[in-house]
Structure 1
């Protein structure tokens, strides 16, 4: 009988390979003139495995949903998604921007944002390439329609609210000091001080190569914790120094969780038994981080001037990352390195309102 575990940390059972595995894998096969063998078959299987690692699990899931949605749309219109038709794809993008009829998903009768439409198009391109086709995004039926959609419907990007140092302290103070509370406190403080994505937080192992699905590991030293991460932009190291107080120190919070959870190998942040008294072996799903942030935001009264539903929309996993970037008064190059950004411009996008009106060019011009 399966052991009862906390419901909040259970992730979806959907696997992206269930959607596109069979079709896309067909693109990785032996040439027709080469006879198969046990050795070559194993190499093909290994090559397919590497190909599936070319994108993150969340990206693959999104691309799988994009392809499934486009397939349903094509069936409704009496056409086939293969081979790619620039004309039909242009009409598909039009229908996403200005729906005119029944949608494969009733929740999508409303127009989609420009960023979502661009993501859908990228998903189609990836799926076509996995099936041995090339989607020409520069074709006039696609490029002209997309340019028109951007011109008419583009809006400034909606950014999640940054969590301030005062906010994070109020949030962790709402957590109990049982095993689950120790874990969640460590998640919030490590995520904030490290400027980590939620996927980076839950993918950490205690030691190098502890598990096959590891996204990095932690080395706890006297000055602090050194995180080695395999992130979106490649490998990077993140230094998290010890804080000025044990109550707010992310490294101390991490040590407390590891000690009482009796974790000395494998995933750092795991699920707990339903009664919250034992740590289990299973790694937390990254959605737990988002749910934890939203829950603590409400309990701590962060942005209490807004209705509850608006507050929930304002905060997400990225609020930790944006909070550090907006609050830490350090040279921009250090923040860029810490967050793993390729450009300073990307780092500035995370610094919510930090430098707004800091320099007054009107007065500098003598006006």
Structure 2
């Protein structure tokens, strides 16, 4: 069993029937299957530490946690003006901790479910979604970029590839040259893993040439690759102040800052992906085509990603025939 300041792992007693020589591997596989994405692990670990510290302060057990402990903890988060999504994530982290330890979670109790529903109702908050930009504004942004420096070349390639490939920031961070396959038709990017592809099954994204070289994701990427002057390793790396290329992979945090630098503080790296969906739908693309690039599993997720806040967009009032 884990200590209170660690994210718990599967207890040794949970695999008692497994042959001794397979026990270690069994624990590793089960834990890997339960844990999920690396970013989720980090977030959950922090949430779990906050919960265990709260329980210690109030003289309550954290694992297994009584319903009263969880209710008090979630109430304190709500009273301290935490977002509903943050509170829900803490509850999910606590549930995952109990699952990893092979214990019943207090999050399944009806009282907790009612409490979470009441918190959400009182706060009346919508899930904050990354803003989407228009294609016209994105073109203006790209055309205004200074690409006479390695930084400009890198950032233009990052924005164009991120948008046309509907990439998550974690996918851009993990991208390697070995994942790129160029031919006369364009570029195919292979993804080893993603948020929704934890098993590493083969996934590909197709990138196409643009008639305008300044707006072409493939030509922009090739211009940046010429700066790197190598055939393997990470694609997007940091640069020193003298524009010297390093071998340090850009972090998701820095990718987010690059997007905000050019598009504005109201946007995030996720806006590249949300805008791909929105622009595609406004241009009449059906869900199956959009999903082929985003790798979403359902049309429901495409509808969630589509940003059509402008009342004039996608409105049948234009088609009444008057």
Identify the TM-score tier after normalising by the shorter chain: 0.7 to 0.9
Checking the alignment, whether the CA contact within 8 Å between 1:293 and 1:317 is kept in structure 2 is: yes
Checking the alignment, whether the CA contact within 8 Å between 1:224 and 1:240 is kept in structure 2 is: yes
The whole-number CA distance in structure 1 between the counterparts of 2:306 and 2:15 is 51
Gaps of 5+ in 2: none
**CA shift in 2, pair 1:48/1:157, >3 Å:** closer
Q: Deviations over 1:207-262 (max 9, x none)?
A: 1xxxxxxxxx2212211111222222224321110111111100111111111211
Q: Deviations over 1:74-130 (max 9, x none)?
A: 1222222122211211222122222xxxxxxxxxx3x22222211111111111222
**CA shift in 2, pair 1:246/1:285, >3 Å:** same
Checking the alignment, whether the CA contact within 8 Å between 1:29 and 1:44 is kept in structure 2 is: no
Question: Does 2:38 align with 1:86?
Answer: no
Q: CA deviation at 1:34?
A: 8.0
Q: CA deviation at 1:331?
A: 2.4
Question: Aligned runs of 1:165-180 on 2, under 5 Å?
Answer: 165-172=135-142, 173-180=144-151
Equivalence for 1:222: 184
Equivalence for 1:106: none
Q: CA deviation at 1:357?
A: 5.8
**CA shift in 2, pair 1:268/1:31, >3 Å:** same
Q: CA deviation at 1:159?
A: 2.2
- The equivalent position to 1:359 in structure 2, one of 312, 316, 319, is 316
Equivalence for 2:44: 63
Question: Aligned runs of 1:169-318 on 2, under 5 Å?
Answer: 169-172=139-142, 173-207=144-178, 217-229=179-191, 230-234=193-197, 235=201, 236-278=203-245, 280-298=246-264, 312=265, 314-318=266-270
Give 1 or 2: higher helix fraction: 2
Give the paired residue count: 308
Question: Does 2:60 align with 1:118?
Answer: no
Equivalence for 1:95: 76
The whole-number CA distance in structure 1 between the counterparts of 2:262 and 2:32 is 39
The whole-number CA distance in structure 1 between the counterparts of 2:319 and 2:229 is 60
Checking the alignment, whether the CA contact within 8 Å between 1:74 and 1:81 is kept in structure 2 is: yes
The whole-number CA distance in structure 2 between the counterparts of 1:34 and 1:189 is 50
Of 355-364 and 147-156, more deviation after overlay is shown by 355-364
Checking the alignment, whether the CA contact within 8 Å between 1:28 and 1:47 is kept in structure 2 is: no
Gaps of 5+ in 1: 1-18, 99-108, 208-216, 299-311
The whole-number CA distance in structure 2 between the counterparts of 1:123 and 1:342 is 24
Equivalence for 1:9: none
TM-score, normalised to structure 2's length?
0.84
Equivalence for 2:295: 340
**CA shift in 2, pair 1:88/1:49, >3 Å:** closer
